[in-house]
Chain A
């Protein structure tokens, strides 16, 4: 379903553990000749008894997958071909919504803003995230305190974070420009400027990478100590250990966070929304894709149009994910079992 082909091929994904026994023992027993149909039926029944528990245990998710994912996914395709809104039933209009999107200037603006954000945020997030995780993985006292501190910005409510940043980056009395002016640089007006509003947002988002850092930390914990012991015996220095042990063995986790980072970057909503009270100012430079989607769906009640946007987003994210999966074979290393 809607997955890049190679995803199923063994290690491509975040190492799916264990072997994946496919066809043979998964399917119902091989059909016997006709005269033994009774036995087959009995066997089937016995097999059902064997498989029952598995199905039963997984059943909440099978229902959840259908109700909260599969059916909405399919119906959103349908809605994207209609003029549906809560206020009126809507008519089927074929590709009209998509055609309209292609001529919607604000749509393209929101695509540009989102891509701009993703292009800078995702790589920077990985570099900072890995660096922070490595720092927080050192064996020194009081690490619990440090880890909590680095996680703090993730725990502060977004609405409060937005206000804090409006203050920090205020051109008149903000801390950032205050510091810049003491060293003789006249700072830009940050969130008030079309050029600087997106870099400001990237900066803010980088502050909240605590969640990714936790995942990297878990990945670092998975690297066996023996490798470092062996490297120490060989007299390897910090650089060699980092670039020849830590980073290569962390690539599966980096890969996971890269995919999640791309998806997250394209879903940027709460921070710019609260920062601009949903307006995307100045000059729509902070109107991100999902903000515009939200406006269309829940402010203008153009739910058909918004569904078309959702599908375009889905296709973009899928294409990017597929691309990452394809390249991953070149740079993701899995620890041999």
Chain B
């Protein structure tokens, strides 16, 4: 067997392995989409019918009427967008300070930051809840948005690693030209860290979009609910409306899938643990 032929065979077998494995990972998604188009009676049949007939598009419209879909969507978008903006504004500048600027206590603070990543969220959950209660913010989306503006340790860590990998020479050159530290950061270093900023943004977007425990704790009035809380209502109100629930789930999932598909390469490039690339 010559080399090119061998390569072809190995590439072919790689695809076979990937396709078989993909199948397993697609089941939840396919099932979700197919259920979203089924009448209730067809949902739990055996053997399962993957292709609904007839295709019940009306599930999507019914779902939007069953829960106040657009209110929940609006709430979800507001929380997700604002918390992502918060994380993307605060984390890079802090990370940059950790990576490139010198100040007393910097390294100790960075070690503490890594340590904070290891604190289970539940440890601070109750005092934080009480803090927000005192501030009168329970029952508002602020507790789900505000903390992102003050930095999130995991993201600060990722971004710092990325900034560490960028050369100092650019910074020094700009400094000689008389640029202020902020300008150096904003116009030179931040654009170079785009992949990492994007990774952080996407992480935060996904976490916030599907967050369940946060809204469960802080959103008390159903007018403020997010979609992930709204999904539960298909189960508890009058029996279970699986088809409608999956219609909303599908509508929730598609935008994130598209985002991931187009950004995955940059996204993965943005995560670095050594920067020796």
Chain A residues in the interface with B (C-beta under 8 A):
1-3, 7-8, 13-18, 20-22, 25-28, 50-51, 53-55, 57-58, 60-65, 67-69, 71-73, 75-76, 79, 86, 132, 135-136, 138, 140, 144-161, 163-164, 167-168, 170, 172-175, 178, 207, 214-215, 217-219, 221-222, 224, 252-253, 256, 259, 263, 266-267, 269-270, 273-274, 277, 290, 293-294, 297-298, 303, 306-307, 310-311, 313-314, 317-318, 321, 334-335, 337
The residue of chain B having its C-beta at the shortest distance from the C-beta of A47 within the complex is B104
Question: Could you tell me the dominant secondary structure of chain B's interface residues?
Answer: helix
The residue of chain B having its C-beta at the shortest distance from the C-beta of A224 within the complex is B276
Distance, CA A144 to CA B156, complexed state (A)? 27
Distance, CA A54 to CA B270, complexed state (A)? 23
Given contacts A54-B106, A158-B212, A164-B28, contact A15 B273 (CB under 8 A): yes
The residue of chain B having its C-beta at the shortest distance from the C-beta of A289 within the complex is B122
Within 8 Å of chain A (Cβ to Cβ): is B74?
no
**Are A157 and B210 in contact (CB-based, < 8 A)?**
yes
Stretch at the interface among B51-59, B60-68, B77-85, B90-98: B90-98
Give the contacting residue for A218; candidates B18, B91, B272; CB below 8 A: B272
Query: In the assembled complex, which residues on chain B have CB atoms less than 8 Å from the CB atom of A317?
Result: 118, 120
**Are A313 and B28 in contact (CB-based, < 8 A)?**
no
Given contacts A132-B21, A151-B260, contact A8 B111 (CB under 8 A): yes
Query: In the assembled complex, which residues on chain B have CB atoms less than 8 Å from the CB atom of A217?
Result: 268
**Are A20 and B123 in contact (CB-based, < 8 A)?**
no
Query: In the assembled complex, which residues on chain A have CB atoms less than 8 Å from the CB atom of B126?
Result: 76, 79, 297, 303, 306-307, 310
**Are B28 and A161 in contact (CB-based, < 8 A)?**
yes
Distance, CA A76 to CA B152, complexed state (A)? 20
**Are A54 and B120 in contact (CB-based, < 8 A)?**
no
Distance, CA A263 to CA B32, complexed state (A)? 29
Given contacts A159-B249, A335-B274, contact A61 B113 (CB under 8 A): yes
Within 8 Å of chain A (Cβ to Cβ): is B173?
no
Given contacts A58-B94, A159-B212, A252-B273, contact A293 B249 (CB under 8 A): no
CB B172 to nearest CB in A, in angstroms, measures 15
CB A73 to nearest CB in B, in angstroms, measures 6
The residue of chain A having its C-beta at the shortest distance from the C-beta of B96 within the complex is A57
Which of B122, B206, B272 lies at the interface centre, i.e. has the most chain A CB atoms within 10 A of its CB? B122
**Are B212 and A274 in contact (CB-based, < 8 A)?**
yes
Which residues B222-277 have CB closer than 8 A to chain A?
227-228, 231-232, 235-236, 242, 245-246, 249, 252-253, 256-257, 260-261, 264-265, 267-277
Which of A76, A135, A259 lies at the interface centre, i.e. has the most chain B CB atoms within 10 A of its CB? A76
Query: In the assembled complex, which residues on chain A have CB atoms less than 8 Å from the CB atom of B176?
Result: none
CB A100 to nearest CB in B, in angstroms, measures 17
The residue of chain B having its C-beta at the shortest distance from the C-beta of A303 within the complex is B126
Given contacts A27-B104, A259-B118, contact A222 B273 (CB under 8 A): yes
The residue of chain A having its C-beta at the shortest distance from the C-beta of B45 within the complex is A173
Given contacts A51-B103, A61-B156, A173-B46, contact A75 B268 (CB under 8 A): no
Query: In the assembled complex, which residues on chain B have CB atoms less than 8 Å from the CB atom of A138?
Result: 14, 18
Given contacts A138-B14, A144-B264, A146-B18, contact A69 B272 (CB under 8 A): no
Query: In the assembled complex, which residues on chain A have CB atoms less than 8 Å from the CB atom of B121?
Result: 267
Within 8 Å of chain A (Cβ to Cβ): is B1?
no
**Are A54 and B102 in contact (CB-based, < 8 A)?**
yes
**Are A221 and B127 in contact (CB-based, < 8 A)?**
no
CB A168 to nearest CB in B, in angstroms, measures 8
Contact with A along B101-131 (1 / 0, CB 8 A): 1111111011111111011111111111111
**Are A60 and B93 in contact (CB-based, < 8 A)?**
yes
Give the contacting residue for B46; candidates A153, A160, A178; CB below 8 A: A178
Query: In the assembled complex, which residues on chain A have CB atoms less than 8 Å from the CB atom of B260?
Result: 148, 151, 155
Q: Which 9 A-B pairs have the closest CB atoms?
A: A64-B150, A54-B103, A61-B151, A57-B97, A72-B127, A218-B271, A160-B249, A54-B101, A72-B124
Which of A2, A163, A168 lies at the interface centre, i.e. has the most chain B CB atoms within 10 A of its CB? A163
The residue of chain B having its C-beta at the shortest distance from the C-beta of A312 within the complex is B123
Given contacts A135-B18, A152-B29, A161-B28, contact A73 B103 (CB under 8 A): no
Given contacts A150-B25, A157-B249, A314-B119, contact A72 B161 (CB under 8 A): no
**Are A22 and B151 in contact (CB-based, < 8 A)?**
no
Given contacts A144-B265, A274-B212, contact A60 B94 (CB under 8 A): yes
